[in-house]
Amino acid sequence: MTAAAARKPRHALALPRVIGHRGASGLAPENTPASFRKSAELGVSWVEFDVHLTADGVPVVIHDDTVDRTTDGKGKVAALSLAELKRLDAGAWFDPGARGERIPTLAEMLNLLRELGLGAVVEIKPSPGAEIATAEATVTLLREHWPETLPPPLVSSFERAALERAHLVAPGVARGFLVRSLPQNWQDEVDRLGCSAVHVSHQGLRPEQVADVARVGLPVFAYTVNDARRARELFSWGVAAVFSDRPDLVLPVAGI
């Protein structure tokens, strides 16, 4: 298979200019149904969220390795069962009015995306040592249960082992090469992992890097952009899309 063929996803990527980061996490508790509903209310058409595995092997939508920051509980996600996680409040830490929000499973998330008509970038966010298992569980569920009414999903991960497993288990699910800064060998890694996009922090990103990625036919998605002026600058460089906690601030300059 050629490098270009390895990068080609099942369907051409057609993402919007603004992707809600963990929903609309600047306005609602991140990675909860309230956050994704808020994104939809704002007119966002795609969201990003994170997937971990519970102690009993269920993919759930939460960012951190522990529940301490975003719930009223304590402990590692990988050490808690789904039943234990479901007893935790995932909203009151953000705002008392959000009390009662729960950590959604990935399966529940797919139903919510169908209801709201939202596309998604799914970040495989494994606990240490669970890279392979988390990737396999995530992409298997996406491959088998992704709503046909929605555009195909895109998966990403900072963990190369997770992307490798995703590539092997579900080659038809498009992958994003997720990094904090663009490494010198980025093109080799993109080709090896069969990625369809480059996801990189906007901090330190340079216009010539965006141009380099564009020259090989890949879009650049920049995270996490909550300032309209910065978003406008990135778009002027050719950045295809930005992830934002505050899509309400960035949408007006996205040219959509």
pLDDT of residue 225: 98
Any idea which residues carry the catalytic annotation? 21, 63
Percent of the chain with pLDDT over 70: 94
pLDDT of residue 11: 38
Torsion angle of C-alpha atoms 7, 149, 142, 225, degrees rounded to 10: 70
Contacts of 227 (CB under 8 A, 6+ apart): 249, 250
Alpha helices, H only, the chain: 3-7, 33-42, 82-86, 106-116, 131-145, 160-169, 186-193, 207-215, 228-237, 247-250
Distances (CA, A) of 154 to 16, 123, 143, 151, 239: 13, 9, 11, 9, 17
| Cα separation, 221 vs 17, whole angstroms | 9
* pLDDT single digits (tens) 35-78: 999 999 999 999 999 999 999 999 999 999 999 999 999 999 99
Low-confidence ranges of the chain (pLDDT < 70): 1-14, 256
pLDDT of residue 12: 54
- In angstroms, how far is the first alpha carbon of the chain from the final one? 36
* pLDDT single digits (tens) 10-40: 335 668 999 999 999 999 999 999 999 999 9
pLDDT of residue 70: 98
Average confidence score pLDDT of the chain: 94
Q: Which architecture does CATH list for 3-64+104-253?
A: Alpha-Beta Barrel (3.20)
| Cα separation, 7 vs 170, whole angstroms | 14
